[in-house]
Structure 1
Amino acid sequence: MRSVLSTLLAMFVCSLLGFSSLAQSPARGKITGTVVDSVDNKVRDYITVNLLNEQKVTVKVDFTKTDGSFMLDRLKPGNYMLVAVGVGYKPKMIPVNLSDTARLTVNLGTIDIAPTVIGLQEVKVTAIKPIVKQEVDRITYDMQADPENKVFNALEMMRKVPLLSVDADNNVYLKGNADFRILINGRPSSMMERNYRDVLRSMPASSIERIEVITTPPAKYDAEGLAGIINIITRKTVDNGYNGTINLSERFPVGGPGVGGTVSAKFGKLGMTLMTGGNQYRTPSISTFSERDTRNLNPSLLFQNGTTRSNNYSGYLGYEISYEIDTLNLVSAQFNINGSRGRGFVFQNSLLNANAEPIEQYELANTSRDQGRGMDAAFNYQRSAKVDKNRLLTISYRYFGYTNNQKANVDITERINFDLPDYRQFNDQQFSEQTVQVDYVYPVKKLNVEAGLKAIMRDNRSDFLFESFDQEANTFDPDPARSNRFTNTQNVLVAYNTYQYTFKKWGLKAGARIEQTMVKVDFISTDSKVDQNYFNVIPSIAINRKLKKNAGFNLGYTQRIQRPGIYQLNPFVDRSNPNFERSGNPTLRPAFVNDFQLGFNTSKKGSVNVGAGYTNFRDMIMPVAVFNPETNITRATFGNTGRARLFMLMLNINYPINKYWNFSLNSRVAHGRVSGVVDGQVVSNQGIMYQANVSTGYKLPKGWRVNGNLTMVGPNINIQGTTNAMVSSSFSASKDMFKDKLALSAAFNNPFTRFRDARRETFGPNFNQLDIRRDYFRSFNLSLNYKFGKLKEAIKKNKRGIRNDDVQTGN
C-alpha cells in the first residue's frame, strides 16, 4: 500500500514540477493575418481564430481586432490547422506548416471568410441528427435530437436511453442495478444526491442537451456507484449572447403541474448557466393488500388491506458561473439548492389468524409529513500552461449538505388482542460533505496523462425519537429504548492516475485509483461505537477500435465500490406498520463489483449499438427480511448478503425510415443469480430480467408530429423475491409554432389500462409474503415548451486562450 501510494504521489509531484518548468519553456513560432468579408472586402473584428495541432486539439485561440488582424505566437514547430469562425460566416480552414525551424514566422496575409446567408434570410438545417453515439468509455443519448423532449420530463425520457430503465415506481436502473451516481455537467449535485426522482420529474427533457451513460468510468471519477455513472449535460454552448428554454406541464390524475427551464449566457469573458424547476406530484387514493404466511411451530396467516394517498412538492435551482481572468487563468463556481415537502395518509385493516382463528385484529390510521432540503457550493481554479493550453492544473473545493425530517402519527382503533398504544415517530437526518481536490492534465503528442489527489470528509447524523401515548396522562411520552442519536463519519483519501492514448484507429484509456477509507460510528445515547478502515485499488481500462464505414468495437473493464449511505446505515426503526418494521444497519461494509463490457456500434443511415456484459458482485448490499415468530414482526434491513453475478445483452437501434418517419429500440436482457445468508440459512434466487422500449414518430405538415411508445419491463430479482413485469404504452402529439420556438404537446399514457397491480413477492427461511399495490396507470400529459435566445455580435471580446467548456467537469 505504502509503495503504491508513494509512487503515485511522486508521479503527481513530478508532474507539477514539470508543469511549472514547461510553462516557461520558449516557443518561437508565430502566425499572423487579417480577416476580411469575402463579399464587401471589409475587415471583420471579433472573429474567433482557432489553431489546431495534428491531433485536432486546440492549442491557441485569438480574436481579430478592430483592424481585422490577429497573432498567434510562442508556437512549437509542427504542422497546424487554422480555423476562423464567426457568427454568420462559414468556417475557414487553412493548413499552416511551422515544421521548418528556419521559417517559424508565417504571415497568412488577407483571409476572406464567406457569409452563410445574405441579409436576414432564415437558415434551415435538414440533416438528420444521430441520437446515440458510442465513445470509448460511454454511450451518449442526444436529447435535443429526440422530438419527444418537448413532451416528457427527464425521468420519463430515460426509458429511451441505452442501458437505462425505469420501473413502475419511477426508480431508475443502470444495467439493472439501482446503485449508480448521477452527475450534472460532470459534477456531483445536491439536486441528485438527496432525491433524484423529485428533481428528474421537475426537469423538462427539453432543458437537457444530452445524457451520457458512462459504463467504464475513468479513474478520475469517484469509484462509488456499482453500475456506473449517469451524466446529465444541461449546459449549452453560447457565443456572445444567451439562449434558454421554458417548459410548463400538467399531469393528471397522478402527477400535477410543473415548470422548469434553463438559461445560458456568455458576455465577453463571463459565462453562466441557470437551471430551475418545480412541480407537484399527487397520488390519489389507491388500494393496498398484504398477505404473510409463516412456517414455524405456531404457523400464522396475516391479512392487511387498506388505502394510501400522498401529495408532494419539490423544486430546485442551480447556477454555474465562470470567468476568464486572462488567457491562462480561469475561475468557476457553482451553487445548487433544492427542497421538497410531502404529506401522506394510510388507512389499514389488519387481521392475524392462527389455525383459522383470529388472534389479533386492529385498524390503523397513519398521517405522515416529511420535508427536506439540500445545497452545495463549489469553487474551481484552473491554470493553463503557456506552451500548451491543454496542460491544465485545477484546484477545487466543494461543500454539500442536506437534511431530511420525517414525522408520523399512528392512531390504532378497533383493537382485538392488540395492546400497542398509539405512537409518534420522528426522524431527523443530516448529511454534510467537504471535498478538496487537485487535478493535473498533461498531454504528450498522442498520449494524455491525468493525475490527481482528493480528500472527502463526510458526516452523517440522525436523531430519532419514539413517543408512546399515555391514556391516563393524555400525553405522548418518549420511549428511550426505541430512541437514539447516531453519528457516522467517513473520511476518504484518494490518488489517481489515468492514461489515454490514441493511435490510428485505436483508442486506449486506462488508469488506477487508490482509496483509503476511515469510518467511525457512534451511538451517542447508548455509548457504543463501531470503527472500520479499508484500503482499495480501483483499476479501469477501456479500448476502442474504429472500423470501416463508421463502425467500431469497445471493450471495457472496471471495478466499482458501493459505500453505504445514511439511509442504509441509520438504525432508526420505521414502525409505520406494527407488523412490518424497517431499519438501516450501521455495521454495513462496502460492496464491490467487477464489470466487463463488450460493444459493437455502426452508424450509416441509422445507428446500431450491440453490447454484452458480465458483472460480478461481492459483499452486495441488499434488503434482507427476517420474521420473528415471538413478536409476529417481519424486520427488513440491509445486509452484505453475499455474492451475485449478472450476464447481460443490449441492443439499441435508431433508424430514420425516411425524412418524416423514425424508429428506435432500446432493449436489454439479463440473467441474474444472487445468493447469501439470511437469518442463518443459505438463500438464493435467480431469473431472467429484461426491458425494452420501442418508439416511433412521424412528422406531419405544418409543424405537427405524432409519436408512439411501448415499454416492457420484466421482473426484478433480489435475494428474497421478485417484482412483477410491466407493459406500458403512450401516444403523443406536438405542434411547433413561431419558427419552432414554441411547442404545444399532449400525451395519453396507457389508454387501454386504468389501473395496474404492482406485485412484490418475498420469501424467507420461515415465511412467504405477497404485497399488492393498485396504482393509477392511465394518465394525461399537457406541456408548453418555449425556446428563446439572442446572439450579440457587437459585443467586444478580449484575446483569450481557453473557453468556458474547457473547465474540467469530473471530480
Structure 2
Amino acid sequence: MRRDLITTLLLLFTTSLAFSQDFTITGLIMDSEEQPVVLANIILLTNTGDFIKGTVTDDKGFYMFKSVTEGEYSIAASYIENTVESPVFKLTKDMKMPTLRLNNAQLLDEVVVTHQKPKIEHLADRHIFNIENTALAEGDIWDVLKRTPGVMVMNNKLYINGSSKVNIMINGKRINLPEEDIINLLTGNSASNVESIEVITSPPAKYSAEGGLVLDIKMKKNLVSGYNGAVFNRYTQGVLPKHTIGMDHFFKGRKIDFSTNYSFSHNRNWARYTDITSFFEDGQESEQWTAEQKSVTKEKKHNLNVFLDIQLDEKNTLSVTSNGSFTPNRARRFSSQTAIEDLDGELTAQLQGLNTLDNDMFNSANYIDWVHKINDKGATLSTNAHFTYYDNKREQVITNDIVQGASVYTSENTLEVSSDQIINLYSLQTDLTYPFNDHTTLETGLRLATINSEAGIEQIGFDTAVEGVQPTEFGVFNYDEQIYAGYISLNNNWENWKMNVGLRGEYTDSKGELNTGVNTTTRSYFNVFPSLSVSYTIDKNAFYLKSFRRITRPRYGDINPFQFYYSANSIEEGNPELKPAYSDYLQLDYVYDKTYKLVLFASKKSNEQSQQVFQDNTANILRTQYINLETNYYYGLDASISKNLTSYWNLFFLISHYYDKDSFRDPGTGLIVENDIWTTHTRATNSFTLLSDKSLYADLTFTHFTPRISGNAKFESFSKLGLAFRKTLWNKAASLSLAVEDIFNNGNYNSTRNYLDQRNSISTRWENRLFVFGFRYKFGNTKIRDNYKRKNTDEGKRL
C-alpha cells in the first residue's frame, strides 16, 4: 500500500507509462443455415450475469470486444426474438470464440431479467438511485428527483446535503438554465427513459467548480439493433388538471445510435399565499397588513430532446445532443386582497390588486462531443463544444385599488411592465484520460466559457411619489463573463483502496453594466478548488472520505437591477452587487454490507447567496431579493438502510439530524443577525414487486421535516406521504400507472421572520395532493433492453 501511494505521488511529476494487460474477444454469429447474422446484438457479461459492454455484428456476422481485462465472462447474442448464450469462459489471452448459432426456424424465449441493480449503489464520490422496475418509472423526472435518496425538494428548490446550489446534468452535460426552466424541462420528460439518478456528493476536479453538488440524470441507451419506440400519456388532477402526452423513438445501426423524445404538456397550476406583516414606525409596531393572494398559471409547453452517436471509425466517435423547451403564451393571474388594521384590530383600509403576467419562454442547450481513442489501453482524448440560448419575454399589468379607507403609504396605480432577458452561453472543453498502469489513471483538461446576458425593461404608470418605489422606467442591463479553467486529477484503484485526488483552477472576469450609467460592477478573481475522495473496503465494511471546495457565481437573473412587482406592496428585485460564494465540505461515511450507512458531515460557506424577504417599514413594502449571507455553518449525522427485506420488498430509510446556523446582515440597520436550529429529516421509501409474474410495482414514500431555517426565515415542520402503482401489460409492452401525492395534504410550507424590526409570516398552500394516471405503450424491437443486468441459469448455459 505504501509503495503504491509513493508511486502515485511520483506520477504527478512524470509521464512514464506501464500499461495493464487487456485482451480482445472475437467471434461469429451464424444462423441455422450457416449464413451470417447481420446487426445481431452481442452482449459481454460477467460470470454473474452483469452487463459489461455491447456491440453488433457486421455484414459477415463478425463481432469484436477490445480492452477486456482478465476474468470470467460469457457472450449473449440475440436477433429479433432469437437468443443464444455461450458457456462461461476464462479470459487470459486474446480469444476467438466458437461460432454461436441463432435458430431461425424456432423463436426462443425472451431473455428473462432475474437479477436487477440494487435500488441504491454507494461509490466513493456518489450514490446511484436506480429506478428501473419501480412504479416511479412512469412519472416525470421531476417527480423522481423528489423521491431520490439524498435529495430534498422544498418550495420547488432542490437541496443536497442542505445546499440549494445543485447542478443538474443529463448524461454528464450540465443544463445551464434558470431554476424555473429546469423544472419545466424535467416535468415534461418521462422518467421511463431514465436508467438512474447519480447524486455526486464529492464532485471530481473534472467537473466545473461552479455551484454545489451534482445531480446527473442518466438516460437509457438502446442496445437493440433496429427501431423501437413508445407513446405515453399522463393526466394529473389537483385543484386544476394537468396533462402530458409524448413519444420516444430509438434507432440503432452498426455505426449510428439515434434517439429522440418529445412531449407536450398543458398545465394549469394553482396556489394560495397568506402574508401577515406587522409594520413598524419609530421602533414600535403600528399596523398589521394581511394579504390573501391566489395564483393561477396556465401554460402549454413543448419539450424536445435529441441524442445522436456516430461511430466514425474504430477510434473516433461523434455525439450530438440537444435539449429544448418552448413555452408560448404562459399566463399567470395573481390576485390579492389586503386588509390594513391598527393596533386595536380596527380596519383602516382595504386594497385590491391584480397582477397579470404573460410570457414566452424558449431555451435550447446544444452539445457536440468528439471522442478519440488514443490506444487500446483506455487512453482517450475528448472535446466538447456547447451552446445554450435562453429567451424570456414578459408582459405585465398590475392594478392596485383602494377599496376602503385610505393609506398614506400607497395609491391607486395601474402599472405596465415589459421585459426581456436573452442569455447566450458558449463553452469549449478538452479532456485527456490516460491510464498509467493497472492502478492509476490520469485525467486532465482545459475549459473556456463565455456568457452574455442582456436584460431590458420598460415600466410605466408608477407613482414615484411613494417612498421606496424606484422603478427603472427604461433600462438595459448587460452582463458579460468569461471563465478560464484547468484541472488535473488521479484516479487510483488498488485491491481494497480507491482514491481520486484532484486540483482545479478557475479564473473569472465579469462585468455588469446598466445603460443608464448608474452602476457598473466589474470583478476579476482566481481560485483553486481541491477535491479528494477515498474509499477503503474490507470484507463487508466500507469507509469513505470526501472533501472538496466549490464556488457559486451569481445567477444571471438575480443580478438584474430591476424591480418586478407581485402587487403594489410586494416587490422582487435584483442585486447587481451579489458576490460569488464559496463552500468547503467534509464528509465521512461508513457502510456495512452495502446496506447500512452512517454519515458524518460538516460544511462552511461564505457569502452564500440566499433569496430573502425583508419588510421595508418606511414604504410598507415586502422586498424579495437575493443577498450574500455572512457565513453558514452546517454539520450533522445521517443514518440509513437500503435493504431487500424479502424477495418482493425493498426498503430505504433515512434519518438525518443536523445543525444549521446562518449569519446575515440586516439591510435596514446594518446589524449582523444569527439564525440557528437543529433539524431532523426522516424519509422512508418502500418498493414492492408483486404478483407471480412480477408485473405489479408499488412505491410508498414518507417524508418529514422538523422546523428548519434558511437565512432570516424559520420554516415550520411538514410531512408528506405518497403512493404509486405501476402494472405492466401485454408481455411488458404496455404499462398503467396510478399515484397519489401528499395523501393527507400536509406538505405546505409556512415561514416566519421575527427579529429586530421584522415581523412577518408567509403561509403557502400549493397543489400538493395530486392524483396521477399514466399509460405507456412500447412498440418495435423491444425484446432486450439496455442496462439490464441478469443472472444466467444452469439450463441456459446448456443451449
TM-score (norm 1): 0.83
The one-letter amino acid paired with 1:280 is H
Question: Cα offset for 1:109?
Answer: 7.8
Q: Structure 1 residues 365-374 or 112-121, which shifts more? A: 112-121
The one-letter amino acid paired with 2:564 is D
Check the 8 A contact 1:276/1:317 in 2, yes or no.
Answer: yes
The one-letter amino acid paired with 1:364 is G
Distance in 2 (CA, whole Å) between partners of 1:116 and 1:186 is 40
The equivalent of 1:802 in structure 2 is none
The equivalent of 2:214 in structure 1 is 229
The equivalent of 1:372 in structure 2 is 361
Distance in 2 (CA, whole Å) between partners of 1:611 and 1:479 is 49
SS in structure 2 at match of 1:589: coil
Distance 1:190 1:109, change over 3 A: closer
Q: Does 1:749 align with 2:741?
A: yes
The equivalent of 1:199 in structure 2 is 185
Distance in 1 (CA, whole Å) between partners of 2:56 and 2:724 is 46
Distance 1:723 1:422, change over 3 A: same
SS in structure 2 at match of 1:300: strand
Check the 8 A contact 1:37/1:114 in 2, yes or no.
Answer: yes
The equivalent of 2:441 in structure 1 is 448
The equivalent of 1:556 in structure 2 is 546
Match for residue 454 of structure 2 among 451, 455, 461 = 461
Q: Does 1:647 align with 2:635?
A: yes
Question: Cα offset for 1:593?
Answer: 0.5
Check the 8 A contact 2:370/2:382 in 1, yes or no.
Answer: yes
The equivalent of 1:319 in structure 2 is 306
Distance in 1 (CA, whole Å) between partners of 2:590 and 2:105 is 40
Distance in 2 (CA, whole Å) between partners of 1:381 and 1:493 is 21
Distance 1:332 1:479, change over 3 A: same
Matches for 1:700-779 after TM superposition, within 5 Å: 700=691, 703-753=695-745, 758-779=749-770
Match for residue 383 of structure 1 among 342, 359, 372 = 372
SS in structure 1 at match of 2:233: strand
The equivalent of 2:352 in structure 1 is 363
Distance 1:124 1:486, change over 3 A: same
Distance in 1 (CA, whole Å) between partners of 2:453 and 2:13 is 33
Check the 8 A contact 1:238/1:265 in 2, yes or no.
Answer: no
Question: Cα offset for 1:312?
Answer: 3.4
The equivalent of 2:411 in structure 1 is 419
Q: Does 1:269 align with 2:252?
A: no
Matches for 1:53-72 after TM superposition, within 5 Å: none
Distance in 2 (CA, whole Å) between partners of 1:570 and 1:510 is 38
Check the 8 A contact 1:742/1:785 in 2, yes or no.
Answer: yes
The equivalent of 2:533 in structure 1 is 542
The one-letter amino acid paired with 1:460 is S
Match for residue 632 of structure 1 among 604, 608, 620 = 620
The equivalent of 1:248 in structure 2 is 233
The one-letter amino acid paired with 1:238 is L
The one-letter amino acid paired with 2:276 is S
Match for residue 131 of structure 1 among 94, 119, 122 = 119
Check the 8 A contact 1:90/1:113 in 2, yes or no.
Answer: no
Structure 2: state its 5+ residue gaps. Answer: 1-10, 464-468, 785-799
The one-letter amino acid paired with 2:259 is T
Match for residue 508 of structure 2 among 513, 517, 520 = 517
Distance in 2 (CA, whole Å) between partners of 1:579 and 1:769 is 14
The equivalent of 1:433 in structure 2 is 425
Check the 8 A contact 1:295/1:767 in 2, yes or no.
Answer: no
Matches for 1:296-311 after TM superposition, within 5 Å: 296-297=282-283, 299-311=285-297
The equivalent of 2:389 in structure 1 is 401
The one-letter amino acid paired with 1:182 is I
Check the 8 A contact 1:49/1:62 in 2, yes or no.
Answer: yes
Distance 1:274 1:360, change over 3 A: same
Q: Does 1:292 align with 2:275?
A: no
Distance 1:325 1:192, change over 3 A: farther
Distance in 1 (CA, whole Å) between partners of 2:171 and 2:754 is 42
SS in structure 1 at match of 2:136: helix
Question: Cα offset for 1:48?
Answer: 7.8
Check the 8 A contact 1:762/1:768 in 2, yes or no.
Answer: yes
The one-letter amino acid paired with 2:424 is S
The equivalent of 1:333 in structure 2 is 320
Check the 8 A contact 1:408/1:576 in 2, yes or no.
Answer: no
Matches for 1:588-607 after TM superposition, within 5 Å: 588-603=578-593, 607=595
Match for residue 659 of structure 1 among 618, 642, 647 = 647
Identity of aligned residues (%): 19
Check the 8 A contact 1:292/1:770 in 2, yes or no.
Answer: no
Distance in 2 (CA, whole Å) between partners of 1:581 and 1:332 is 45
Distance 1:579 1:764, change over 3 A: farther
Distance in 1 (CA, whole Å) between partners of 2:54 and 2:243 is 46
Instruction: Give the root-mean-square deviation of aligned CA atoms.
Output: 3.9
Check the 8 A contact 2:401/2:413 in 1, yes or no.
Answer: no
Distance 1:216 1:500, change over 3 A: same
Distance in 2 (CA, whole Å) between partners of 1:389 and 1:62 is 18
The equivalent of 1:695 in structure 2 is 685
TM-score (norm 2): 0.85
Distance in 2 (CA, whole Å) between partners of 1:204 and 1:60 is 25
Distance 1:595 1:91, change over 3 A: farther
Check the 8 A contact 2:275/2:760 in 1, yes or no.
Answer: no
Match for residue 617 of structure 1 among 605, 616, 631 = 605
Distance 1:195 1:185, change over 3 A: same
Q: Structure 1 residues 714-723 or 436-445, which shifts more? A: 714-723
Distance 1:389 1:620, change over 3 A: same
Question: Cα offset for 1:318?
Answer: 1.1
Q: Structure 1 residues 612-621 or 481-490, which shifts more? A: 481-490
Question: Cα offset for 1:235?
Answer: 2.9
Distance in 2 (CA, whole Å) between partners of 1:548 and 1:664 is 23
Check the 8 A contact 1:272/1:321 in 2, yes or no.
Answer: yes
The one-letter amino acid paired with 1:370 is N
Distance in 2 (CA, whole Å) between partners of 1:613 and 1:117 is 61
Distance 1:482 1:718, change over 3 A: farther
The one-letter amino acid paired with 1:198 is N
Question: Cα offset for 1:52?
Answer: 12
SS in structure 2 at match of 1:195: helix
Distance in 1 (CA, whole Å) between partners of 2:782 and 2:283 is 78
Distance 1:41 1:328, change over 3 A: same
The equivalent of 2:8 in structure 1 is none
Check the 8 A contact 1:89/1:116 in 2, yes or no.
Answer: no
Give the paired residue count.
Answer: 751
Distance in 2 (CA, whole Å) between partners of 1:400 and 1:128 is 37
Question: Cα offset for 1:372?
Answer: 1.1
SS in structure 2 at match of 1:256: strand
The equivalent of 2:4 in structure 1 is none
Distance in 2 (CA, whole Å) between partners of 1:276 and 1:524 is 40
The equivalent of 1:90 in structure 2 is 85
The equivalent of 2:3 in structure 1 is none
Question: Cα offset for 1:38?
Answer: 11
Check the 8 A contact 1:748/1:779 in 2, yes or no.
Answer: yes
Question: Cα offset for 1:716?
Answer: 3.6
Q: Does 1:148 align with 2:136?
A: yes
Q: Does 1:346 align with 2:338?
A: no
The equivalent of 1:160 in structure 2 is 147
Question: Cα offset for 1:94?
Answer: 4.5
CA deviation profile, 1:569-614 (whole Å, cap 9, x unmatched): 111112332223221111111101111122233447xx33332211
